Amino acid sequence: MPFEPFVTAVIEGTLNTLINDNPDSLKRLNRLKGRTIQLHLKELNKTLTFIFSHQVDVLADYDGEPDCYLSLQLSVLPELKDQANITQLIKQDKLVLTGDIQLAQKFAQLLGECKPNIEEWLSRVTGDVVAHSAVSGVKSVTQSIVTHARKHQRHLGQVVTEEWRLAPTSLELTHYCDQVDQVKSQAARLEAKLTQILEKL
């Protein structure tokens, strides 16, 4: 199987599965029926065409005229949900958009909602109790790792600033900034006095 049809098939299958698992996404899909969006991904220099009907079809080659054409980096796509961002992105050369702006927003919202529900998918194979226990266990372990990492980060910060004295503490930094402000104000007063003296001369 050639690479492009394989990639489009994976995107299409994943997208449709995620949409079907979420009733809100199905409603959004219905609002896009009969519309076509072409998405040019700058990172890959590839163009994908999304055709909306009772499902989403994804094509690598499309000769028709899309209702909306977007050229952007993938990281910019979530920002399209808010119409205020679109003008800003165009000015910053992060987005090229031709066609229906509202269609681009609806597309971004649809993609934003397409998040996998791992517990739901797992429950189809293992049952509800096992799936819930497994997902809760993974969340608990992840939270424990994050907490442990933050604790070590704080400890390392204390060692660097207080024991090894390689970096100033926050109080020392604040004191230094205050001293800089005092010197600035003294310099400004001195400059004002010098200006007055020069004017009198």
Instruction: Give the tens place of pLDDT for each residue, 58-87.
Output: 999 998 899 999 998 888 887 877 777 888
For residue 35, the 8-state DSSP code is -
Who wins on pLDDT, 53 or 87? 53
Q: Look at the block and give the residue holding tokens 């499902």.
A: 55
CB burial of 140-160 (b: ≥16 within 10 Å; e: otherwise) equals: eeeeeeeeeeeeeeeeeeeee
Q: Which CATH number, 3.40.50.300, 3.30.1050.10, 3.90.550.10, 2.60.120.200, labels domain 3-116?
A: 3.30.1050.10
**Per-domain boundaries in the chain:** 3-116, 119-200
Q: Please state the pTM of the whole predicted model.
A: 0.58
- Alpha-carbon dihedral sign for residues 51, 55, 56, 62: negative
Q: How many helices (H) and strands (E) does the chain have?
A: 7, 5
* pLDDT higher than 70, residue 146: yes
Rg of the Cα atoms in the chain = 28
CA angle 49, 55, 59 (to 5 degrees): 20
CA distance 198 to 26: 78
pLDDT band at 1 (very low <50, low <70, confident <90, very high): very low
